[in-house]
Structure 1
Amino acid sequence: MVAVIDSGDISELLAFRSGRQGRDSYTSVAWRSHEWKGAKFHLALLVDEEGDVRWLGRAQGRKRVSDRERRVDISEIYEVGGPSLEQIRRLLPERHKQGLQYGILSEAVGEAVTRALLTFHPSESDTIRRLGRQEFFRQEPGERGRRLNEQRDATGLLLEIGEVGREALRDMSAPTPAQPSFLAGLSNRSASEENLINYDIGRFPGMTEVGSAHVDWRIFQSNNRRMFIMNANMEPLETTLGTDVIYYNEFRQSFVLLQYKRLVRESGQTKGAWYRPDKNIWAELERMAKVDELCGNVADGEFRLHGKACWVKLCDSDARVENSQDLVKGMYLAREYFEELLATLKGPRKGPRLGYDNVPRHINNTTFIQLVKDGWIGTRGTATRQLEDIVREVLQNRRVLVLGASMP
């Protein structure tokens, strides 16, 4: 689907947002509700004051701003600098010329406009096709799909913390049965394995050579930021016991360990999404406490609001994700707080049960990212040797590992 939008000159707005956020930006415009129906994605042709298609983007109808108006979000904006609408119109079949107007185009006119646009920008064919695609990310069913989704979410989280941005995740290909990790499904355009990676890996001795583990790694780079990300697992994804995320900041010698726990949707009396601990949880919490003890008692380094490593993310790994860049909504809980909630929050059968309806406070994606990014939480003075020991411990306990290291 294609939409033509009179955006005017938004170059200053885009430059301001890009400078502040270091990523593709979006603008929002209001439309009459009858003019923009539904929440489908559209290839957006953004027309400036001169009548030129100066930018391309991805538009989606969002919430209503009044009884008659709806907000339309335009994201992933690329500057292309032309052609004009009239130049495009001249290339259309006669029967479609009158259909080229502002707003959502009919399917036939949209296809004709896309073909005409490709004659002006043949090198952007992949981008043009992708911006108009309805669905970016289709999760594979079953346990393996859930693990891949957790790896995808963890990778996006690490890229956001490291201020690289999640744009590289757009190019994720559809998972295949042979794909051993999320990183294995990313195109070579998204991240590199160039010769410099050998230098980066050398800073973390032994981590990429864990005995019998399957390991994939990539280097992501943007805006003078550099992030080394590794996926590792000892066994096939569908047989592992969970997903751990480790973020290590080389400059601050700080790390955070995040363990994914799954909210399961229930019906009947307990309707909603809930976390109920299994028999392994107490051993896992004991290991996490040892990690905090190992790395949380160092006095050297920057001040922290919370100076321990271990956190838990409660989330629905089956939740629908429309875009491969999106993070899964979740509740972030420090280990001690998580233990307290397990001891105090009970379900109808008196067993521990945690969910949005009864957890009184939690940290969301945005706040967690900002706290880690700014160094307000996490250990201080952590040596890479300690980190290597923790990596081995995670893998020996049959967990999937997503490791991110932020480098100068």
Structure 2
Amino acid sequence: MVAIIATGDISTRLDARWIVRRQRTFSVAWRSEQWKGVKSHLALLLDDENQVRWLGRARGRRRVSDLERRVEIVEIEEVPAFSLEALRKQLPDRLQARVQPGVLTSAVGDAVVAALVAMFPEMADLIRRLNRRDEVGPPAGDRSLVLNEQRDGTGLVLEMAGVGRDALGSWRLPTEQQPSFLAGIDRRLVSEESLINHDVHTFPGLVRGQSGHVDWGVFGNGRRRVFVLNANTEPLETVLGVDVVYFNQTFRSFVLVQYKRMVRDGRREGGGALWYRPDKNLASEMERMRRVDELFGGSAGDYRLSSQACWVKLCDSWGRLEEPKELVKGMYLAREYFAELLRTCKGPNGGTRLGYDNVPRHINNTMFAALVKDGWIGTRGTGTAELEEVARGVLANRRALVLGVAFESSRRQASSNDEQ
């Protein structure tokens, strides 16, 4: 599918977002009845002079009013400017008048894509990539839930590292029977070269011999680098859940986030309030997290608002794999706070349940990622030996692991050494 969207001159805004977030994205409001569903389209973006100056990939998002929904355009690339009239001349006469701003029919869209490739053969790969079909077909049952938590954990690691989540937009379900989320990332967007003072090939050793499935890569953004690993020891359908372990070498700190799934009343997608009810594994998991905090929470190092490692994320189990860049909405709760809520948050029949309606305060995705990235929360003075111990403990407890290790590039580290 193809959409022609009048955005005006967005050069300045694209440049600003690239400098700050390393993202070239833009959003517009669109009448809901004219943009149905969430399928992605190749987007031709028109400037103030009605010239196509950018190509991107557009997808319908949530409604912003009763009549309009937000359309997000990502992967935006500037191209040699051309007019719609020049494009129309490449099409059969019967189709030319139908090339107008809006969502084109499949037949007209296919003809436009063919015409663009003929006009700009050097951009054929770009055009085909932006015009790719949405082919996400998540596995059924618990495998999908674990894969979705790995997706969210991987995105969280990239956000905490300040790298940005654009690379996740290329995700496609891997062909392996027991895939990790990371295995589905376009490998062109994941670096495996050592751009840092440490040999990244040593990090899979943190779980070597302990894991049945390991995928890893290095993501970068300017001088920021983050090593990301997805690992699990059990088949996905038998894994109890996902833990995210994030290590910031600059601040010598790590945090551990354990995912807990909330379900809607009636267990129906889209209906009812979200609630978390403890399961039979919670007591042992809470004890494990308590021991981690006891072991690493009192080390010397830079000041923290909280120097404990362990957090819980209560999140919607219906988060969508079809939106690989998005973080699942959820509540981040420090371990001690979570333990207190388990004692005080009750349902109408006296059982324990936690949800947005009775948890008085929580930290959201944006705030949590910022606090970790800037070293305001997390352990102090932690090293890779302690990190290895925690990673092995996660896998031994039949949980999948999303590991992130954030670095600054060797160039920046060398510069800092020179200044000292």
TM-score between the two structures when normalised by the length of structure 2: 0.88
Give the letter aligned to residue 284 of structure 1.
E
CA distance in 2, matches of 1:255, 1:220: 18
Compared with structure 1, are the counterparts of its residues 73 and 173 closer, same or farther at alpha carbon in structure 2 (3 Å cutoff)?
Answer: closer
Aligned partner (choices 35, 38, 41) of residue 36 of structure 2: 38
Counterpart of 1:355 in structure 2 is: 355
Secondary structure of 1:246's counterpart equals strand
Counterpart of 2:227 in structure 1 is: 228
Give the letter aligned to residue 353 of structure 1.
R
TM-superposition CA deviations, 1:134-154 (whole Å, max 9, x none): 636332211112111111111
Contact conserved, 1:136 with 1:324, CA < 8 A, in 2?
no
Counterpart of 1:265 in structure 2 is: 264
Counterpart of 1:282 in structure 2 is: 283
Contact conserved, 1:197 with 1:219, CA < 8 A, in 2?
no
Counterpart of 1:107 in structure 2 is: 106
Q: Percent identity?
A: 56
Give the letter aligned to residue 93 of structure 1.
P
- Greater Cα shift, 44-53 or 11-20: 44-53
Secondary structure of 1:82's counterpart equals strand
Counterpart of 2:296 in structure 1 is: 295
Q: Is the aligned partner of 1:176 residue 2:182? A: no
Secondary structure of 1:189's counterpart equals helix
Q: Is the aligned partner of 1:256 residue 2:242? A: no
Counterpart of 1:304 in structure 2 is: 304
CA distance in 2, matches of 1:25, 1:128: 17
Give the letter aligned to residue 272 of structure 1.
A
- Greater Cα shift, 389-398 or 198-207: 198-207
Contact conserved, 1:169 with 1:186, CA < 8 A, in 2?
yes
Compared with structure 1, are the counterparts of its residues 357 and 105 closer, same or farther at alpha carbon in structure 2 (3 Å cutoff)?
Answer: same
TM-superposition CA deviations, 1:7-38 (whole Å, max 9, x none): 2321111111111112222143x55666x343
TM-superposition CA deviations, 1:195-241 (whole Å, max 9, x none): 66994336659404244543222111222211111122222221122
CA distance in 1, matches of 2:281, 2:67: 53
Contact conserved, 1:218 with 1:229, CA < 8 A, in 2?
yes
Counterpart of 1:191 in structure 2 is: 190
Contact conserved, 2:194 with 2:200, CA < 8 A, in 1?
no
Secondary structure of 1:238's counterpart equals helix
Contact conserved, 1:96 with 1:109, CA < 8 A, in 2?
yes
CA distance in 2, matches of 1:255, 1:195: 22
Compared with structure 1, are the counterparts of its residues 104 and 181 closer, same or farther at alpha carbon in structure 2 (3 Å cutoff)?
Answer: closer
Q: Is the aligned partner of 1:373 residue 2:373? A: yes
CA distance in 2, matches of 1:141, 1:387: 33
Compared with structure 1, are the counterparts of its residues 215 and 314 closer, same or farther at alpha carbon in structure 2 (3 Å cutoff)?
Answer: same
Compared with structure 1, are the counterparts of its residues 60 and 386 closer, same or farther at alpha carbon in structure 2 (3 Å cutoff)?
Answer: closer
Q: Is the aligned partner of 1:148 residue 2:147? A: yes
Counterpart of 1:116 in structure 2 is: 115
Counterpart of 1:219 in structure 2 is: 218
- Greater Cα shift, 9-18 or 136-145: 136-145
Within 5 Å, give how 1:335-354 maps onto structure 2: 335-354=335-354
- Greater Cα shift, 229-238 or 250-259: 229-238
Compared with structure 1, are the counterparts of its residues 308 and 80 closer, same or farther at alpha carbon in structure 2 (3 Å cutoff)?
Answer: same
Counterpart of 1:200 in structure 2 is: 199
Give the letter aligned to residue 405 of structure 1.
V
Gaps of 5+ in 1: none
Contact conserved, 2:210 with 2:392, CA < 8 A, in 1?
no
Count of matched residue pairs: 404
Q: CA deviation at 1:104?
A: 2.5
Counterpart of 2:417 in structure 1 is: none
Q: CA deviation at 1:108?
A: 2.2
Compared with structure 1, are the counterparts of its residues 240 and 340 closer, same or farther at alpha carbon in structure 2 (3 Å cutoff)?
Answer: same
Q: Is the aligned partner of 1:405 residue 2:405? A: yes
Secondary structure of 1:349's counterpart equals coil
- Greater Cα shift, 243-252 or 222-231: 222-231
Contact conserved, 1:248 with 1:256, CA < 8 A, in 2?
yes
Contact conserved, 2:196 with 2:407, CA < 8 A, in 1?
no
Q: CA deviation at 1:259?
A: 0.3
- Greater Cα shift, 152-161 or 63-72: 63-72
Secondary structure of 1:109's counterpart equals helix
Compared with structure 1, are the counterparts of its residues 165 and 69 closer, same or farther at alpha carbon in structure 2 (3 Å cutoff)?
Answer: closer
Compared with structure 1, are the counterparts of its residues 261 and 188 closer, same or farther at alpha carbon in structure 2 (3 Å cutoff)?
Answer: same
TM-score between the two structures when normalised by the length of structure 1: 0.90
Q: CA deviation at 1:133?
A: 5.2
TM-superposition CA deviations, 1:28-71 (whole Å, max 9, x none): 3x55666x343444322112244431101233455666776665
Give the letter aligned to residue 266 of structure 1.
D
Gaps of 5+ in 2: 409-420
Give the letter aligned to residue 315 of structure 2.
C
CA distance in 2, matches of 1:360, 1:83: 55
Give the letter aligned to residue 305 of structure 2.
L
CA distance in 1, matches of 2:301, 2:65: 54
Give the letter aligned to residue 284 of structure 2.
A
Give the letter aligned to residue 388 of structure 1.
E
CA distance in 2, matches of 1:323, 1:378: 29
Compared with structure 1, are the counterparts of its residues 265 and 33 closer, same or farther at alpha carbon in structure 2 (3 Å cutoff)?
Answer: closer
CA distance in 2, matches of 1:407, 1:142: 36
- Greater Cα shift, 311-320 or 176-185: 176-185
